Structure 1
Amino acid sequence: MNIRPSPRTLAATALAALFLLPVAAAAQAAWPAKPIRMLVGSPPGGPSDIVTRLFAEHLSQRLKQPVLVENRPGVGNSLAAGVVAKGEADGYTLVVSPDTVVTVNPLVYTKLNFDARSELVNVSILAQFTQMLVCNAGKNLHTVPDLVARAKTTRMNYASGGPGVPGHLAAEMFLQSAGVKMEHIPYRGPAPATLAVLSGEADCGFLATPTVLPHVKAGKLSALAVSSREPSPLAPEVPTLAKALNQPALDVSFKLVLQAAKGTPAPVLAELERAAGDIMKRPEVRAKLQASDLVSIGGSSQEAEAVMKAETARWEPVVRRLDIKSE
């Protein structure tokens, strides 16, 4: 038997709903009501860590809440991203990832427990970074033509921080553009990869400029090129890969993107997007990042999504051609 509610009951229910609406709105508006965790998938000192800590400092000042940075290195930066993807979608746990977490890792790492492309929201591209091609100083290689000529006649290798990381991709793009081959030696992170090139265990490697530049200045490594289209402000004398290979359109750069779990409330995402746009365009932030060979961006979520799709289309054929796989 269907029992229709009385007009008085309907009126009482509607009135109660009206009182609850401001409470729900206030709950969302109260964000953040407690400290925010911001994860980074690489060890301290690298581009991701530098950008994350600077952004977190300014975000904390803006939101009047602590923003705590936590390094969770592993699985090509996917370990940290997975924590956020599988966590509460409340805006209190965020991650800053290189674009490879979305563009490449789903193809490379066969046992990931999350899908970065569907379980994470790309809030804003915070910054752009590139790699420097360096070789062990004892190899007597000082220019890209030197390396190309040597690789055509001698078996050579290069180090990276792991399968599918920016250094691996930059190296493969270089080898494809130059028409030569070198053996890839993956290490567990950029620090052991750098040590391998320093010791001569590996001949060369594409590694983050701030990481390797002190060794270049100390004469332990030779800098051959930077992967960006423009010279590095930290080492303007080092040619770009595009110039060294006489391929003006060649630009092997990577993005660092602020991400949140899918399902995070829209007002929270909007505030994070506004914060990123404001913070990353501040002159003092731009200057600090430039001093670490990083380009500040701070674009919209829509722009970030478009870039991720474009970069995925760019790198997927490379990954499939090389059949890059890792557990």
Structure 2
Amino acid sequence: MEDHSGKSPDHLTINVTHRDDPVFEVTEADAFASVRKYPNIVVRGPLFGLAEQRRGDRPRWRLMGELDTGFPQMVRDELNSHLWFKARDETEDRAERRSLLAAVARLETEKTDEVSACGVRYRVVRADEFARIGDGRLEPPRATDPDDDGWDLDATEPCRTDGFVVDHAAAVGLSEGIGRAGLLQLSYTADRFPADVRADSRRALTTHPGVVLLPTTFRVVERKEMSWSMVTGQYSTPQGARRALVDHLTRPFPELPDLPGMPEVPAWMKVDEKEAAVNERAAKKFMARRRANELIVRGKRFEVVRVERMMRIGPDGPEKSRPSDVDQYGPSQIHPLMDEHGNITHGT
């Protein structure tokens, strides 16, 4: 790493502060206690999302929506759609529309993680998802994590990641500062990761030496003898994950009829009435317990766990996807052609 004289660059600065605030004090104490109880880290793998950098934000970047996608190409397609609809609906200026559509054209043919349009830089960004573990147990939600008590299974889940400013030099508490310092040298070393994945991970320690922690999320996992399997996606609050568990138990896939000429419905999609009744009773008992984080039903152990995401930062901002990151498919045209006047040509 280069020797920097004077003030360290933002991507190398961890600015620790203290606030004379009772809530801050309790949160810090809770964080230190949790790290002592769950001292080790289990890395699940990468997640991808979108970030933008507007003129007034530079050198910082701002996240656009959740960062929860498993493949970078899915995020490139999301950006493709974002820019296409922006060209269709949000401008009448031909020069702006040309700029937006030029970025769309690149995303249709190139496996690129960054495009610019109308003075804004858009980037596919990468983060590693991990959980803390101690005595063979993943960390549950902390008492100080934002939470609620509602059981509306159709409630809209808030997004704490949308609009998050990626600012490595922003002031943080002592617990987060120590946590980030401890993550600086984290890389993939386990044999279960292919050699190219491990090599890219080691390389990132030099190309993107800084670390930023994104807002915490929560998942439901099923604990097995030697491992865990994910049951739900990520949620902004522990209660969101609890609602998702109840939904998983009480709203299974409906049983579909076997139709002539159609493949047989898989057994896992069929609903057994006795099993459904057991799940319904277990869900009701779970909902009666305020902020419960474990449920055992039919021999299965479900746990609500606390999940963190770390994003590596370099001199030019957040890390993009790595060469070893896997895609299931490549770029393609996903919207009809549009000209600078907004005229759309649909295929025949």
Q: TM-score, normalised by structure 1?
A: 0.22
Task: Indicate the structure with greater strand content.
Answer: 2
Q: TM-score, normalised by structure 2?
A: 0.21
